């Protein structure tokens, strides 16, 4: 089935699956180059609203395909034997039956499934990951429907799996609407989600995007600290038809390379997202007006919202790097790079451009480069010196 058939009307899922697929494609190859076992955990497997009979539009099938591709490429190109292990969890009985139908047909990976809630399955998952042995690396995907079922305390053992990394779907759209709920029960559930009540002070008095950013940043900061991760970033997934954030995909890792791969997936996904939103918005207009439009959806698409977000977050990232330079005067390129890329919608090319601008205006020099090196590199003790 084509992507149109699989994802029309749920383009946010297309973007989520694109990021997952693109990330895992490179992750599995890179990690599989030095680890003998890859352990993939999907805590909220579904299938959920899937249209493909082969589950091509389900995260578990997408992930398994990428892991297999990497394993086969590593075997062919490097003679490496990498073992794949997956734990797929699903609470709903009907969805679980479909998941089981899929996994029963898999014989080239070790797969464990469980028809239960995450709250009741964390020890099983931890045990499964441990059984992968000392040369295994785990990737945990947490993709819930709302903001319950993955409370910070619940997922703490998963965040602490080391070596390992996580991708969490933070349902910004849902959360935004209820953050101010006067109901004690809702406030308590947020406290459990964030792992503390500190989020309240962080979002108080803020409006719209500022408020969403503060909530996402606070959640990511807590999860990063609890899991002992060194680095994190996030991707914004927009509503297909309206100019609002649907959810943020929060990625946490202990390795800088992971950020490079995740940001690359995010950047490619943003082009896919704008194209899918153009189609979705045209469909909505045509349905409302009852007549088709003369021009192609891509030509008619108003990308002002996306552009304004892109400007907003790249300016924010630029500000972070600039403040570090002004206060410390000497900042390693690695540090500047992670500051520039720890939020959504700012990329490696942006940092390179700011560096060129600061150099041209006489504010910046670069130290530690080889005689013929033109631009700073990560991992080579290159330093940005602010004058
Ligand atoms: C958003 S869907 C997952 C979609 C899937 N990851 C994908 O991208 O194809 C969330 C799934 O989690 C299941 N679920 C909801 N609460 C759960 C819980 N507490 N523990 C485990 N699964 C849960 C739902 O039945 C649903 O199938």
- Taking the model in full, what pTM does it have? 0.97
* Ligand 1, atom nearest to 62 Cα: 9
Question: Token pair of 205, please?
Answer: 């008095």
Best of 44, 58, 121, 192 to mutate for ligand 1, by most ligand atoms within 8 A of CB?
44
CB of 151 within 6 A of ligand 1: the answer is: no
Tens-digit pLDDT profile for residues 236-282: 999 999 999 999 999 999 999 999 999 999 999 999 999 999 999 99
What is the C-alpha separation between 318 and 196, in angstroms, rounded? 30
What is the C-alpha separation between 195 and 159, in angstroms, rounded? 13
Tens-digit pLDDT profile for residues 159-209: 999 999 999 999 999 898 888 888 999 999 999 999 999 999 999 899 889
CB of 194 within 6 A of ligand 1: the answer is: no
What is the C-alpha separation between 132 and 359, in angstroms, rounded? 49
CA-based R_g, the chain, Å: 22
Question: What is Dmax (Cα atoms) for the chain?
Answer: 65
Ranges of beta strands (E only) in 125-265 are 136-142, 164-170, 231-238, 245-253
> Structural domains in the chain?
3-278 (3.40.50.150), 303-386 (1.10.10)
Nearest 10 degrees: CA dihedral of 88, 92, 93, 99?
A: -30
Residue 60 alpha carbon to ligand 1 centre in Å: 11
Q: Determine which residue's CA is closest to atom 12 belonging to ligand 1.
A: 44
CB of 95 within 6 A of ligand 1: the answer is: yes
What is the C-alpha separation between 136 and 163, in angstroms, rounded? 8
Best of 20, 100, 144 to mutate for ligand 1, by most ligand atoms within 8 A of CB?
144
Pairing type for strands 245-253 and 231-238 reads antiparallel
| Cross-strand bridge partners of residue 229 | none
For the chain, report the end-to-end CA distance as a whole number of angstroms.
57
Residue 74 alpha carbon to ligand 1 centre in Å: 31
Strand, helix or coil at 342? coil
What is the C-alpha separation between 323 and 244, in angstroms, rounded? 29
Tens-digit pLDDT profile for residues 204-242: 899 889 999 999 999 999 999 999 999 999 999 999 999
What is the C-alpha separation between 19 and 21, in angstroms, rounded? 5
Tell me if 168 sits within 8 A of 253, measured CB to CB.
no
CB of 90 within 6 A of ligand 1: the answer is: yes
């Amino acid at each position: 089935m084509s992507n149109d058939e699989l994802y029309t009307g749920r383009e946010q899922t297309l973007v989520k699956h694109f990021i997952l697929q693109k990330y895992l494609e490179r992750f599995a190859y890179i990690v599989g180059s030095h680890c003998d076992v890859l352990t993939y955990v999907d805590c909220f497997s579904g299938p959920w609203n899937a249209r493909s009979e082969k589950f091509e539009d389900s995260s578990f099938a997408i992930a398994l395909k990428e892991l297999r591709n990497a394993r086969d490429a590593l075997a062919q190109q490097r003679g490496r034997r990498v073992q794949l292990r997956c734990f797929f969890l699903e609470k709903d009985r009907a969805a679980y039956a479909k998941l089981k139908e899929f996994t029963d047909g898999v014989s080239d990976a070790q797969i464990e499934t469980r028809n239960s809630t995450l709250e009741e399955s964390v020890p099983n998952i931890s045990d499964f990951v441990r059984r992968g042995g000392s040369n295994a690396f785990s990737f945990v995907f947490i993709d819930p429907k709302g903001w319950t079922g993955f409370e910070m305390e619940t997922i703490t053992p998963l965040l602490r799996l080391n070596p390992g990394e996580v991708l969490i779907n933070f349902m910004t759209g849902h959360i935004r609407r209820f953050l101010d709920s006067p109901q004690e029960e809702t406030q308590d559930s947020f406290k459990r989600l964030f792992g503390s009540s500190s989020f309240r002070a962080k979002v108080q008095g803020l409006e719209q995007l500022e408020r969403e950013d503060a909530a996402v940043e606070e959640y990511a900061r807590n999860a990063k600290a609890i899991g002992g991760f060194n680095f994190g970033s996030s991707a914004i997934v927009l509503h297909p038809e309206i100019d609002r954030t649907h959810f943020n995909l929060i990625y946490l890792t202990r390795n800088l390379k992971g950020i490079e791969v995740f940001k690359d997936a995010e950047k490619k996904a943003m082009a896919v997202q704008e194209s899918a939103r153009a189609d979705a918005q045209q469909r909505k207009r045509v349905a409302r007006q009852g007549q088709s439009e003369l021009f192609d959806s891509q030509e008619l698409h108003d990308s002002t919202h996306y552009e304004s977000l892109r400007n907003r977050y790249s300016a924010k990232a630029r500000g972070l790097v600039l403040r570090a330079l002004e206060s410390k005067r000497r900042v390693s390129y690695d540090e500047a790079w992670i500051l520039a890329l720890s939020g959504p919608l700012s990329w490696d090319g942006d940092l390179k451009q700011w560096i060129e601008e600061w150099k041209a205006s006489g504010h910046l020099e670069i130290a530690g480069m080889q005689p013929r090196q033109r631009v700073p590199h990560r991992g080579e003790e290159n330093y940005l010196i602010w004058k």
